[in-house]
Amino acid sequence: MSEQHAKQQEATFRSLTEMVQLAQKHLERGDWDYLVGAADTEASLRRNRAAVESWVFKPRILNDVSAVNIESQLLGSAMRIPVVLPPIGSVQAFEAGGGISVARAAKDYGILQILSSSCSPDYEAVAQGVPGPRIYQLYLTGDQDWMDDHIRRAMDAGYTGFCLTADTQVYSRRERDVMKGYVPMSGRSASAANGDFSHQASMTWDTIAHIKDTHDIPLIVKGVMHEDDAARCVEAGVDVIYVSNHGGRQLDHAMACIDALPQVSQAVAGRVPVVVDGGFMRGADVVKGLCLGADFVGMGRFEGLAMAAGGYAGLMRGLKILEQEIRISMALLGAPDLASLNSSLLQRAQSLAEPSVLSAFPLLDDY
């Protein structure tokens, strides 16, 4: 039996804790650390998780929650759950199918994938292999003409949105990788190893204006953490605001995404959808993000863990359990639909455990 087939066979885990256990079992140390690690002291990663855990629910009673509706739309695509699959570079390190396995799962489950330009197969191969709506995220490693060419090609391939990541002006220093001499799979080609970040570093508001003036495709800006930048994005015509600190993998000691979210949401004022990621691992976490102003929650490490646990089948199984957790949390919170979620259902409280990338799974070592 091939290793990939073995993963598919094992994608019958009963809980998200078992999903994480399988992922760690299947990955080599370097790939595992790449998935769970972050920049420098990893403070931004821990802060993301600490902040999510510091919000607690104030449930309401005697609301009819016999049917909990969590469906919505994003950029014209129906969304079965309020979750997007974020762009993950080197996703092929977690399962050989890489971006195309994620594309199949997203399509079959009924949510949107944001495909990273740093994973394989490339965006045109993924679109050919799995036709359907999805978003393409591009790191700028070429000039404006190069960028325009890739946007046009993505549009021709059927992509329904374009995502520009704005928090990777330079590549961060990730000590787990440095100490082992680990090179991510997306950086193992000669061209990638000598990656030129000068174009990424030189992005300005003029880049946003050029994209909006030149291309007829919805634009998502990822990496928004300041409310003033969120307001300026909306004024510049950006179609989706994506709150993210890159999972703690870029700027060390950045504030937690869920803490930036309320002010960003207030600045956006419902004019465009808001996506947030950063430390969201469970269904209850998703509900917290929605209560604080997000329309959708991105779950990058969740995606990587599910892929490592069982590829396409693992991601489908993980999403099913996640959906169950979202529905149960909303029913017990007294919220029959997404419109019922608001900040009055939350308050701050002291965290119960030392935050870590996997502190959402306290039973990991018990079974």
Catalytic residues: 246
**Beta pairing class for 83-84 and 296-298:** parallel
Q: Are 52 and 325 in contact (CB under 8 A)?
A: no
Note whether 330 and 336 are within 8 A (CB): yes
- CA 236, CA 232: separation in Å to the nearest integer? 6
CA distances from 86 to 54, 98, 132, 329, 366 (A): 24, 13, 17, 23, 30
Distance CA 344, CA 62 (A): 16
CA distance 178 to 184: 11
CA 181 to chain CA centroid, nearest Å: 26
Q: What is the DSSP letter of 197?
A: -
CA-to-CA distance for 284 and 193, rounded, in angstroms?
39
Give Cα separations from 266 to 45, 165, 230, 274 (angstroms). Answer: 24, 22, 9, 10
Nearest to 118 by CA among 79, 171, 159, 157: 171
Q: What share of the chain is helix, strand, coil (3-state, %, to 5)?
A: 45, 15, 40
Distance between CA atoms of 343 and 293, rounded to whole angstroms? Answer: 8
Contact 257, 279 (CB under 8 A): yes
Q: Strand runs (DSSP E) across 117-210, as ranges?
A: 135-138, 161-165
d(CA 58, CA 60): 7
